[in-house]
Amino acid sequence: MNKTKNRYIIYLTVVAMAGWMLASFDFNIMTPTLPLISKSLHFTTEEAGLITGVIYLGMFVMVLIYGPLIDKFGRKVMFQIVLTVSAIFTGFTYLVVNFLQFMGVRFIADGSAFGELPTGLTIVTEESSPKLRGILYGFIQGGWPIGLFISSAAYLLLVSKIGWRGLYLLGLIPLIAVIIARFRVKESDRFKDLKKTITEDTKPKYAVNKNEAKEFPYKQLFNKDLRKQFTIVNLGWMLYTFSFVTTNVVIALIFTSYYKLNDTQSATILLIASGIGFFAYPIAGWYGQIIGRRNAWVMSSILMPFTALIFYIVAVPGYFYSILIPYIFLYFFSNGTFASVGFMYASESFPTRARGSATSFIMALIAASYAIGGFLFSGILSLTSSIPITWIILAVILPFGSTVMILGKNIKPDEELESIST
C-alpha cells in the first residue's frame, strides 16, 4: 500500500475504534448508575429489571434494521447515521423524567450503539489488506474494554460530583467529535464497484455473484452457498454469548451477592480487568492473523472454561485479591480473544453483497443471546439455589459448545475476500 492509503487506513481504524469505545461507554455506564437512576426516576424494582430486557430488544431490532441498509446505501453513510442516532438519544437521556421516557430513549440509543460494530467491521474488512485486516480489527475491538474502563473510572470519580445525568452528557461530547471526524471516511471501493456492477451492468473489478446480489440481503444469507457457514458462525456466537452473560454481564451481582464485595470493590475489579483486558484484543488479532481466526476462536473456546474453573477454585468470598487476580485472567480470555478474531472471521466469511447484513444479523443474535443467557442464569439459579452450580454449568461447561466453529470454513489469514466468497 502507498503512504496515502496507509495513512487513511490508520485514520479509519482510529475513528472506528473511537466509535466502538464510545458505544461501550454508553452501554456500560448504565450498570453502575442504574440504582441512582431508579431512585431519581422512581422506578420499581420490577421496572428496573425490565430495562435490561428492553435494551437487548432495542439492540436486536435496531441492528436487524441497519443490516440491509448497510448493504443498500453504503458503509460510509451508515457509519455516520448509527453513531448520530446514538448520540442524539444519548443526549435525550439527560432530559428524561420518567420510566417510559428512559426506556424509550435507551431502546434507540443502545440499539444504535450496537449497530456501530457491523458498520465499522464491514468497512474496515473491505478497506484493509488481507495481511493486516485481523490485526487492525483487533485494535478496533479493543475500544470495548477501553469504554468499560472509562465508564467505571467516570462512575468512581465523577458520579458524586455531576450525577448520573452528567455522566450521560459526558459521553455525548466525544460522540459529536467522532461524528465530525467521520466526514473524512470514504466509501469502500468494493461497495462502489458492487453498486456500479448492479446498476450499470458493467464488468466488476471485484468478483461478485450478480444474480444473488439483486436479492434481499437476508435472503442471500440463507441461499445454499452461504447457509452452512452462516449457521455455524451464528451458533458459535450464540453458545459463547450464553456463557458470557454469567462471566461478564451479571458478574457484578455475583461479586456483591455471593463473594461479599461492596459496590466500590466490584467496580474496581471491572476497572482493572478491563484495563488489562484491552491487550487481549490486539494480541488475538495478531495470532489470529498467523493461525487463522477460526482456529484462534476454537482455542479460546477451550481456554476460557479453564480460566472460569480456576476462578471458581481460587476466589474466596470476602477476600478481594483472591477474586481480583483470577478474574483478570477470566476477563482476558472471555472477551478479546473471542471478539477480536470472531467478528473478523464472521465478516470475511461472507461476500460484499451481504456482508453488512451478515454481521448485523450476528450482532442481533448476540443481543437476543444476552437475553436468553440472562434467562438461563436466572432459571438455573432458581432451580439450584446455588451460585457455584450455576457457575459450573454456564461458565465452565457451556462455553465448550462454541468449539462448533471448527466446522466452519478454514479461511487463510491472508486470503483475498473474493477468493473466500463472491
What CA–CA distance (Å, rounded) separates 258 from 276?
A: 24
Query: pLDDT by residue for the chain (422 residues), tens digit each?
Result: 577 788 999 999 999 999 999 999 988 888 788 878 888 998 876 677 678 778 888 899 999 999 999 999 999 999 999 999 998 998 899 999 998 999 999 999 999 998 999 999 999 999 999 988 999 999 999 999 899 889 888 988 999 999 999 999 888 888 888 989 999 999 999 999 999 998 887 888 999 998 899 999 999 999 999 999 999 999 999 999 999 989 988 888 899 889 999 888 988 898 899 889 999 999 999 999 999 999 999 999 999 999 999 999 999 999 999 999 999 999 999 999 999 999 999 999 999 999 999 999 999 999 999 889 888 998 999 899 999 999 999 999 999 999 999 999 999 988 999 999 88
CB within 8 A of 44, min separation 6: which ones?
none
Please check whether residue 188 is in contact with residue 123, taking contact to mean a CB–CB distance below 8 angstroms.
yes
Q: Which residues have CB under 8 Å from 234's CB, separation 6+? A: 361, 362, 365
Q: Is the dihedral of CA 207, 209, 214, 216 positive or negative?
A: negative
Q: Which residues, other chains included, contact 39 with Cβ-Cβ below 8 Å and sequence gap of 6+?
A: none
Cell of 9: 487506513
How far apart are alpha carbons 394 and 1 in whole angstroms? Answer: 45
Cα–Cα distance between 138 and 282 in angstroms, integer?
4
Task: Write the DSSP assignment of 128-141 as a string of letters.
Answer: S-TTTHHHHHHHHH
CB 79 within 8 A of CB 123: yes
CA geometry: angle at 98 spanning 96 and 104, to 5°? 65
Cα–Cα distances in angstroms (integers) from residue 197 to residues 38, 114, 221, 313, in the given order: 53, 30, 20, 58
- Separation of alpha carbons 157 and 98, rounded Å: 26
pLDDT score of 6: 84
For the four alpha carbons of 74, 5, 342 and 330, in that order, the dihedral sign comes to negative
Cα separation, 249 vs 329, whole angstroms: 16
CA separation for the pair 78, 64 (Å, rounded)? 13
Query: Residue 290 CB: number of other CB atoms within 10 A?
Result: 11
Distance CA 165, CA 96 (A): 9
CB 353, CB 217: distance < 8 Å: yes
The rounded distance, in Å, linking the Cα atoms of 135 and 128 is 10
Q: Exposed, middle or buried, 379 (CB in 10 Å: 0-12/13-18/19+)?
A: exposed
What is the SS3 string spanning 51-96? HHHHHHHHHHHHHHHHHHHHHHHCHHHHHHHHHHHHHHHHHHHCCC
Q: Which residues contact 176 (CB under 8 A, 6 or more apart)?
A: 87
Question: What DSSP state is assigned to residue 307?
Answer: H
Q: What's the half-sphere exposure (Cβ side, CA atoms, 13 Å) at 377?
A: 22
Q: What angle do CA 222, 223, 225 make, to 5 degrees?
A: 115
pTM higher than the cut 0.95: no
Distance CA 395, CA 326 (A): 14
With H, G, I as helix, E, B as strand and everything else as coil, classify residue 2: coil
Q: Are 147 and 28 in contact (CB under 8 A)?
A: yes
pLDDT of residue 46: 67
Q: How far is 226 from 364, CA to CA, in rounded Å?
A: 18
Eight-state DSSP code of residue 262: -
Q: How many Å apart are CA 324 and CA 226, to the nearest integer?
A: 43
- Which uninterrupted H or E stretch holds 396? none
Q: Quick one: CATH architecture of 3-420?
A: Up-down Bundle (1.20)
Site of grid cell 437476508: 218
